[in-house]
Structure 1
Amino acid sequence: MDLGLVGRTALVCSSTAGIGEAIARALAAEGAATVVCGRRGDRAKEIAAALPSSLGIEVDLLAEDGPDALYDATVAAFGPPDVLVLNGPGPEPGQATAVDVTSVDAALDATLRPHVRLVSRALPAMRERGWGRILAVGSSGIAAPLPNLALSNLGRAALAGYLKTLAAEVAADGVTVNLLLPGRIDTDRTAAVDAANARRSGRTPAEVARASAAAIPVGRYGTTEEFAAVAAFLCGAPASYVTGTAVRCDGGLLRDL
């Protein structure tokens, strides 16, 4: 299938490892000029050097000027992005009883504010061109809040609400807005969550991982490449009638429709 991404520009946030890196590689393979970015500038440049028409940028999206600096560097290199992939690490695991105002602010700083800023910068050019793709890497906690991830549940739900509202407002302009929800994808973040659950439950991380995999109908964690393939489709031309939705790539983990 031709995803119609040749000649397009894609900005993929937090793409120096895990899901973000896999999405950047998938979009570059489809012919998009791709911006790889993250706090590890050397890693961003290393990944970009191995991809066609790609640029690696060191940026801290939590810094006050981080989103604007990233967007401006993208425009300087390739022009306004046609595809914006919102991605980033979630807050530390923890229970709802431990949530306070300070931790809520930190959660929103990580999961909402930089993404809203990037959308506000990228959206005008997308609407003017009549074509754009905004895709956020979410969490299955949006559909079914996860235990011991209270701050992640809070922050990611806020982003989902914003994007769902936005999708209806810009659909007629040729801009789609979607979320892609991972279940248990084999990443460093998943390993960290497993380790936190192990400490809380008195089990080993390996025991937690085995129990988690057993609860997934396909019987294993997903790969970043499997997730990125779905992301690339949602960012492509054939997905022009898919907007305002949360698509799951979770191996059947969530049992509701």
Structure 2
Amino acid sequence: MDLQLTGKRALVCGGSSGLGRAVATALVAEGAHVALLSRDAAKLQAVADELNAMGPGKAVIAPADLADHDALLKAVDVAETALGGPIQILLNNTGGPSPSGVAGLDPTVWRDQFEAMVLSVFRLTDRVMPGMRAMGWGRVLNVASTSVIEPIGTLGVSNTLRASVAAWAKTLAGEVAANGVTVNTLLPGRIDTPRIERLDAARA
């Protein structure tokens, strides 16, 4: 089935592994041109090389740390230059915090994780949204978790912050729908990714 993504320009966060890499692979297979974003430039380049060998779309890299907001915004500039125009598809896909509860948690943990998991999503989306609205077409996808519906007892920080992203996304969707931009939140369950392996090892 043709999803009509040929030539669309996408920015995929967490593109070096896991769900981000899987989404990037699917987009390139549909003919989209994808900028991969994560901290590890070497891993990103290895993935980009594989995707470019696969085609028909192309892949470029835009390394940045989600916790470094200035670097994030510069990475969008790099991505748009390399792809030849404004981002049309954004996959907000952040890592998750270590397992914990919420009672008595150090405020610095809340602050640091909010910067990386929530505020980074807001800033990235705000950076690309004017271009999407001007084009009359855009897609913003936020990877969250089933914990938005039913909290997971051992993932207190993740439960809290992903729920805030879901509420923000629902609000934003109503604001930009008339401009041809859709905003959706994805709630994956357990998928065999490196993060799930680390969580299982920690529980064991």
Determine the structure 1 residue equivalent to 2:29.
29
Is 1:165 paired with 2:171?
yes
Determine the structure 2 residue equivalent to 1:74.
79
2:79 partner amino acid: T
- Among 121, 124, 131, which residue is 2:130 paired with? 124
Determine the structure 1 residue equivalent to 2:12.
12
2:147 partner amino acid: G
What CA distance in whole angstroms lies between the structure 1 residues aligned with 2:99 and 2:113?
A: 11
- Among 82, 99, 110, which residue is 1:104 paired with? 110
2:42 partner amino acid: D
Matched-pair contact (CA < 8 Å) for 1:96–1:148: no
For the aligned residue pairs, the C-alpha RMSD in angstroms reads: 1.1
What CA distance in whole angstroms lies between the structure 2 residues aligned with 1:183 and 1:64?
A: 28
Q: Percent identity?
A: 42
Matched-pair contact (CA < 8 Å) for 2:91–2:140: yes
Is 1:193 paired with 2:199?
yes
Per-residue CA deviation, residues 127-177 of structure 1 (Å, 9 max, x unaligned), is: 111100000111111111111101101111111111110001111111000
How far 1:57 moved relative to its partner? 2.4
What CA distance in whole angstroms lies between the structure 2 residues aligned with 1:43 and 1:76?
A: 21
Matched-pair contact (CA < 8 Å) for 1:7–1:31: yes
Secondary structure at the aligned position of 2:184 is classed as strand
Higher mean Cα deviation, 62-71 or 174-183? 62-71
- Among 75, 87, 97, which residue is 1:91 paired with? 97
Runs of 4+ in 1 over 4 A off after TM superposition: none
Question: Which has the greater radius of gyration?
Answer: 1
Q: TM-score, normalised by structure 2?
A: 0.93
Per-residue CA deviation, residues 212-242 of structure 1 (Å, 9 max, x unaligned), is: xxxxxxxxxxxxxxxxxxxxxxxxxxxxxxx
What CA distance in whole angstroms lies between the structure 2 residues aligned with 1:100 and 1:108?
A: 13
- Among 149, 152, 155, which residue is 1:149 paired with? 155
How far 1:98 moved relative to its partner? 4.0
Determine the structure 2 residue equivalent to 1:184.
190
Specify every segment of 5 or more residues in structure 1 that has no aligned partner in the other structure, as ranges.
199-257
What CA distance in whole angstroms lies between the structure 1 residues aligned with 2:104 and 2:191?
A: 27
Q: TM-score, normalised by structure 1?
A: 0.75
What CA distance in whole angstroms lies between the structure 1 residues aligned with 2:36 and 2:150?
A: 30
How far 1:64 moved relative to its partner? 3.3
1:195 partner amino acid: A
How far 1:109 moved relative to its partner? 1.2
Determine the structure 1 residue equivalent to 2:61.
56
Matched-pair contact (CA < 8 Å) for 1:47–1:56: no
What CA distance in whole angstroms lies between the structure 2 residues aligned with 1:102 and 1:5?
A: 41
How far 1:55 moved relative to its partner? 0.2
